[in-house]
Amino acid sequence: MKLELQKLKNEFLENLEKATDSNVLRDLELKYLSRKGELSQLLRRVKELSLETRREVGEMANIVKTELQERFDHMKNLIDGKETQGKKIDITLPGIKKPLGHFHPTTLVERELEDLFASLGFMVCDGPELESDYYNFTALNFPKNHPAREMQDTFFIDKKNAQGEYDLIMRTQTSPVQIRAMKQFGAPLRAIVPGQCFRSEATDARHEHSFYQLEGLMIDKNISFADLKGVLLAVLRKLYGPETQLRMRPKHYPFVEPGSNGECTCFLCKGKGCRVCKYSGWLEILGCGSIHPNVLRAGGIDPTEYTGFAFGFGLDRLVMLKYNIDDVRLFHSGDLRFLEQF
């Protein structure tokens, strides 16, 4: 059997040397190395040998087996390398498609609004999400201990300022950027501020601890409430169609006087009443008003010379209404079944 092994080995190596392409290699592998190949058949017969020779021949057979496999692998590498090197690439073959990502629905609506406001001469501003208590509340005419602060409980940073107060918070609204923009650019001013806000909410289908707003303001000489209504109506009609109406009702916000909420005719039922508008025909989508003189002053603008208006859209709410999404928590879920629909 030793002789047979030796013969098989020599024969295999001789053929391997002569192999020039992968077809020949495949045949060789089948004939000698596969499960039904000659080497396996020979190995199977080892157990028929007497106990003394079995061990010796078994050992030798294993060594031969490893060697042949190694030599074979080496040759295969050489031939594979040669074959692919000279090969031309067939550029007519279809490529491998990589899945492409896309924008989040909130980003889609944000961009649509940015384009709209830019076409009306508004610039797009940004501001910090980690904000000081001063910009988020005090400068916006929420004095310390004002009850309106209570409605905007948020996350406080565990670090005191020089006066021993907890001063840093996650902003509860995009309104503090009003002050920052006034300070940076002065009057006249037309700006919008899309961005993320935070509140300490017990989350449910309509409340999240993180959400988006789109703030806007316009400051110039002789700006009135009528200008506010005109701009809002133009925006809403562009978004939801030319039939859209705007309804404004008084509402208190410390940084505007007079303050108002804004409702538009439901874009789905056109005011007739449906599930989306809870059968009222109207959708509440924003807060707005004429900028309070204290706020203009905090921004370094003289309220006897300039007036202005401000507004804040609940951006998530617009997105939910536009795409008929019934749970705000889906926005941050990272759930592809949700995201892939946009």
Binding stretches for ligand DAH (CB under 6 A):
173, 175, 215, 253, 256, 287-289, 310-312
- Helical residues (DSSP H) of the chain, grouped into ranges: 2-18, 22-28, 38-44, 51-85, 105-119, 133-136, 147-150, 176-185, 225-240, 293-298, 315-323, 336-339
Nearer to ligand DAH, 53 or 200 (CB): 200
CB of 329 to ligand DAH, least distance (A): 19
Q: Cα 275 vs. chain centroid, distance in angstroms?
A: 29
In the complex, what is the shortest distance from the CB of residue 115 to ligand DAH, in angstroms, rounded to a whole number? 20
Smallest gap from residue 157 Cβ to ligand DAH (A): 20
Q: Give the CB-side neighbour count of residue 55, counting CA atoms within 13 A.
A: 2
Is the CB of 194 or the CB of 312 nearer to ligand DAH?
A: 312
Beta strands 189-198; 210-220: pairing state: antiparallel
Comparison of 242 and 250: residue with beta carbon closer to ligand DAH: 250
Q: Minimum CB separation from ligand DAH for residue 191, in Å?
A: 11
In this complex, which beta carbon is closest to ligand DAH, that of residue 42 or of residue 177?
A: 177
Residue closer to ligand DAH by CB (options 154, 244) is: 154
**DSSP type of residue 59:** H
Look at residues 44, 79, 69, 68 and name the one whose alpha carbon lies nearest to residue 58: 44
State phi, psi for 196 to the nearest 5 degrees. -85, 140
Residue 299 or 312: the one with the smaller Cβ distance to ligand DAH is 312
Nearest to 174 by CA among 202, 207, 152, 147: 152
Compute the least distance from the CB of residue 161 to ligand DAH, in Å. Answer: 24
313 phi/psi in degrees, rounded to 5: -90, 145
SS3 212: strand
Minimum CB separation from ligand DAH for residue 123, in Å? 16
